[in-house]
């Protein structure tokens, strides 16, 4: 069943259109990622879906309710974790959970039952008496998530929960989200980082208020037009200069190697021939898969002249 349905949502702030005609659906058991840089409109979209801000056009349905008609029915279904979720730093892990349980009107028995379940999947049980201010960044985010789960929401909307969190904690956090979905929840989560979406069922690329593309991670990568190669040579300024005169091929430094972007139809032999012509050693050339970021940039519409992007 569709838990969230958003049709042509538009949100404007004076002359700025933050969300521009977005369509989105999420079903039972689905983990949906919304990926885009700061300013893409992710937060405005999420706040609109949760009924926290009004919007200018479009429709939001949560469960079987229309947001504009039945906000009170929707509230108990929703958990929303904003980007800056407030924990009480001088309260312990358990006291924070207890506080949020109180806000949602849980009785003692329900609280005790749910808290143990939350400790179980978050791994926070061992730290239940530790003050929130003494938790690591990753654990803080797990506690914030737990506070949002205390009332057992059917639908969870998380705005950049993993910003500033290390890769291992981020992976663990996504695995928690995945298991929530498997046990029946619907989760929408936003992130500025492309590498996070491996565990998402579907991903929406968002930029300047618009949806650039939607699909499973491998479907998005398959949208890339052209080929990508890694060339293992020391990318000194001198070496990079040689690429300036090369047609049909653009080179970018990538750490200790070079990435070559090649239009479709130019084969590996031809690339080697062209590299030889500019006196570049092509012996360590390897075709690689495009990354989500490459796809995102291509979808943004080739590399636009930077200074002209915004007024």
Our CB check for another protein shows the closer of 185 and 203 to be: 203
Task: Write down the least CB distance from residue 303 to another protein, Å.
Answer: 6
Residue 253 or 273 having the CB closest to another protein: 253
Two tokens, residue 45: 């979209």
Is residue 193 part of the contact set for another protein (CB under 8 A)?
yes
- C-alpha 282/C-alpha 78 separation (Å) is 55
What does the block give as tokens for 311?
């007024």
Span from 112-120, 149-157, 270-278, 298-306 in contact with another protein (CB under 8 A): 298-306
List Cα–Cα distances, 24 to 2, 9, 20, 106, 214, in angstroms: 10, 9, 12, 32, 9
Quick one: which segment of 21-29, 64-72, 135-143, 218-226 binds another protein (CB under 8 A)?
135-143
Rounded to the nearest whole angstrom, what is the least distance from the CB of residue 79 to another protein in the complex?
Answer: 24
Question: Quick check: 136 binds another protein (CB under 8 A)?
Answer: yes
Query: Quick check: 256 binds another protein (CB under 8 A)?
Result: yes
126 counts as binding another protein under rule CB under 8 A: no
> In the chain, at which residue ranges do the beta strands (DSSP E only) sit?
2-13, 16-27, 31-35, 57-62, 65-66, 78-81, 155-159, 186-191, 202-207, 210-215, 227-231, 249-254, 257-262, 285-288
Q: Residues in the site for another protein, rule: CB under 8 A? A: 37-40, 136-139, 163-171, 192-195, 207, 232, 235-237, 252-257, 291, 293, 296-297, 300, 303-304, 306-307, 309-310
């Amino acid at each position: 069943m569709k838990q969230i349905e958003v049709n042509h949502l538009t949100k404007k702030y004076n002359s700025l259109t933050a969300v521009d005609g977005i369509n989105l659906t999420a079903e039972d058991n689905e983990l949906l990622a919304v990926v885009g840089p700061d300013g893409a409109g992710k937060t405005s979209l999420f706040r609109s879906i949760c009924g926290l801000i009004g919007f200018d056009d479009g429709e939001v349905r949560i469960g079987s309710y229309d947001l504009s008609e039945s906000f009170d029915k929707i509230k108990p279904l929703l958990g929303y974790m904003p980007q800056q979720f407030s924990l009480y730093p001088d309260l312990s892990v358990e006291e924070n959970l207890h506080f949020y349980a109180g806000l949602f009107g849980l009785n003692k028995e329900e609280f005790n039952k749910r808290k143990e379940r939350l400790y179980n999947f978050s791994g926070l049980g061992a730290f239940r008496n530790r003050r929130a201010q003494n938790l690591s960044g990753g654990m803080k985010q797990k506690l914030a998530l737990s506070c949002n789960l205390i009332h057992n929401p059917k639908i969870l909307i998380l705005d950049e929960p993993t910003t500033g969190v290390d890769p291992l904690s981020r992976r663990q956090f996504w695995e928690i989200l995945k298991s929530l979905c498997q046990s029946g929840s619907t989760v929408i989560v936003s992130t500025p980082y492309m590498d996070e979406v491996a565990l998402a069922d579907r991903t929406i690329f968002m930029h300047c208020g618009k949806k650039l593309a939607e699909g499973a991670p491998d479907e998005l990568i398959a949208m890339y037009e052209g080929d990508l190669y890694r060339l293992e040579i020391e990318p000194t300024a001198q070496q990079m200069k040689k690429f300036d005169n090369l047609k049909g091929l653009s080179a970018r430094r990538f750490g200790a190697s070079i990435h070559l972007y090649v239009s479709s139809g130019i084969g590996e032999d031809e690339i080697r021939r062209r590299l030889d012509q500019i006196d570049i050693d092509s012996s360590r050339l390897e075709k690689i898969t495009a990354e989500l970021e490459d796809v995102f940039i291509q979808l943004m519409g080739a590399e636009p002249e930077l200074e002209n992007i915004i007024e």
